[in-house]
Structure 1
Amino acid sequence: MPESTDPRELPGADPHTGNRKVDPVTGYETTGHDWGGITELNTAFPKLVIWALVLTFLYSVITWILLPAWPTGRDYTRGLLGLDQGVEAVKGFRDLAAGRQDWMSHFTGENFAALQSDTGLMAAALPAAERLFADNCAACHGVSGQGGPGFPVLSDGYWMWSGDPEAIAETIRFGINSDHPDTRFAKMPAFDWMERSDRSALAQLVADLPNGPVKRHSPAAALFANNCASCHGENGSGGLETGAPSLTDGSVIYGQDEQTVLNTITHGRHGVMPSWADRLSDAQINLLALYVAQLSELSNEVAQ
């Protein structure tokens, strides 16, 4: 006969209840359940867990009463403490703005040299300047001003106009090819009227400019002198007064490979920098200009 698995027949079991067998190791009664020789102990529910559940429930009731909790359609209950996160957020913003007002007011003027020489003021303003740049400029120019296809690098020494804070502030304020009446204007015309062979020769010459100056007395050099030098300079170093970018460094806005340069020569370029005059205050624009002007220094510090 096979051995019985009925718990009422196990040694030490109560024949009436069937689950009074005591585990000899722990001293706890078993439930009578058996899984392949493994019996379940009839241990008491931990009191610590019970108290944790009770305290959690009491805490939830108290917070429901004191804090904003219950939705009422488009609104919600404020609780006995009367807290309102919207009001708290506005108050926090106003306190932050008031705290900045003392040093921010210094940037309403345009004495950039004096502002740059005030190291204490610039150190206090740097976090706000970084935030302004991240919120308004980084989407196009990159978080550290490294630029990208169609957007100029701001962290090097090459500028379409002067890299002085005054010139940068003017660009931020009025934009480039924007709808502001005082906008800067810069346009690369299309040379699709030029022979394909001439455009290809020009593209090859421009793509090679970062490796050295224009080679004189060549057909491509003559083409460059007649069609490009008036804006980009005799050696392709750019024109700070015309907004023509340098062609001699590795930060060309649209790319310096021969095919990209050929596309630029053939179809032209007409990039747009929006005006920020109606979006940022004069103090914010001046602070941004000072920050952008020192981006190359900040980038070098990070690299080191």
Structure 2
Amino acid sequence: MSAQNTQSGKNDKVDDVSGIETTGHEWDGIQELNNPLPRWWLWCFYLTIIWGIGYSVAYPAWPLINGATEGLLGYSTRGEVAQDIDEFREASAARDAQLASADLDTLRENEDLFRYAVSSGGSVFRNNCSQCHGSGAAGAKGYPNLLDDDWLWGGSMEDIAYTVRHGIRNDVDDDARYSEMPAFGELLEKEEITALVEHVRSLSGEEFDAAVAAPGAELYADNCSSCHGDAGLGDRDQGAPNLADAIWLYGGDREALTDTITNARFGVMPPWGTRLTEAQVQAVSAYVHQLGGGEEPAN
């Protein structure tokens, strides 16, 4: 197809085959026809503009320096969520009050309250504890596994609640659980630390060098037994780990044990009693207790 020039008396922007005006654009000899948009499409387009203007007037829409326009209806998705939360809290207020004052040692005897505690405690755990202990509570290096029965400070519900409430080795709560292992790298020679590592590995039944471990036994008795016990069974009153169960918070290979003895460890847990309600503390303690490693209260 071709277009006539202006000397022929015809519009040079009109296609001489279809008789439709072109846009004036041409690609490799192909011209673009300027067909009008369908009326239904135009009306839909105009309606979306009208709807958009109405929406921005009725609802929060335009960002400002310290917020956004509120809209004539004053609607807020955050406000709606906050209202839902308030309604839920109001509905569960009586149950939370009962849980907050419950004796954790006998909580299982109240089946309905215990189920409520575990259910709500799971939510508290996922929102606040899973970042360190993992979504499945299996822990990681430096973060205890909450599924087993190896507890530094005790595994009854009351013990767990105390740990959650006050934390460990933090400088915020005066009642935080506290213990501190010396950095023996400042007290012993490297050869002595190597001997200690071999002796500690022997306590847990792992492969060890008996010749190197022999002097380590005396070093252990002089430096470690006061906290970990003669047989390495630990002491929960001091938060001293059991060295005979082959469960290691920072690893039980020679390199990890050498690092632990040389530099010591000082893991910190915040006091959640300042961030959670007492009902939430009780609930998450019940949840953790029933994961598999919970212990009965001491008589």
Which band: TM-score by shorter chain? 0.7 to 0.9
Q: Deviations over 1:201-229 (max 9, x none)?
A: 11123245544499799333343344333
**Quick one: which amino acid aligns to residue 52 of structure 2?**
S
CA distance in 2, matches of 1:267, 1:64: 61
User: How far has the Cα of 1:55 moved from its partner?
Assistant: 1.2
User: How far has the Cα of 1:199 moved from its partner?
Assistant: 1.5
- Aligned with 2:258 (options 254, 257, 262): 262
Task: Tell me the equivalent position of 2:182.
Answer: 189
1:241 and 2:233 matched: no
Which residues of 2 match residues 203-218 of structure 1 at below 5 A?
Answer: 203-207=197-201, 209-212=203-206, 218=214
With structure 2 as the length reference, what TM-score do the two structures score? 0.78
- Aligned with 2:135 (options 139, 143, 146): 143
Which residues of structure 2 form unaligned runs of 5+?
295-299
* Structure 2 contact 117–286 (Cα < 8 Å) conserved: no
With structure 1 as the length reference, what TM-score do the two structures score? 0.77
Name the count of aligned residue pairs. Answer: 286
Q: Deviations over 1:84-104 (max 9, x none)?
A: 556444433322321332332
Q: Deviations over 1:96-145 (max 9, x none)?
A: 32133233223213422543355544444445323322333233333332
Task: Tell me the equivalent position of 1:131.
Answer: 123
CA distance in 2, matches of 1:239, 1:86: 49
Q: CA RMSD in A?
A: 3.4
Task: Tell me the equivalent position of 1:99.
Answer: 91
Q: Determine helix, strand or coil for the equivalent of 2:168.
A: coil
Task: Tell me the equivalent position of 2:193.
Answer: 199
Q: 1:212 to 1:237 in 2, by over 3 A?
A: farther
* Structure 2 contact 146–293 (Cα < 8 Å) conserved: no
Which structure exhibits the higher relative contact order, with contacts defined as CA atoms closer than 8 Å and separated by 6 or more residues? 2
Compare 65-74 and 100-109 and name the one that shifted more: 65-74
CA distance in 2, matches of 1:74, 1:221: 67
1:178 and 2:178 matched: no
User: How far has the Cα of 1:76 moved from its partner?
Assistant: 4.6
CA distance in 2, matches of 1:72, 1:197: 67
**Quick one: which amino acid aligns to residue 203 of structure 1?**
V
User: How far has the Cα of 1:176 moved from its partner?
Assistant: 2.6
Aligned residues with identical type, % of pairs: 34
Task: Tell me the equivalent position of 1:282.
Answer: 278
User: How far has the Cα of 1:72 moved from its partner?
Assistant: 6.1
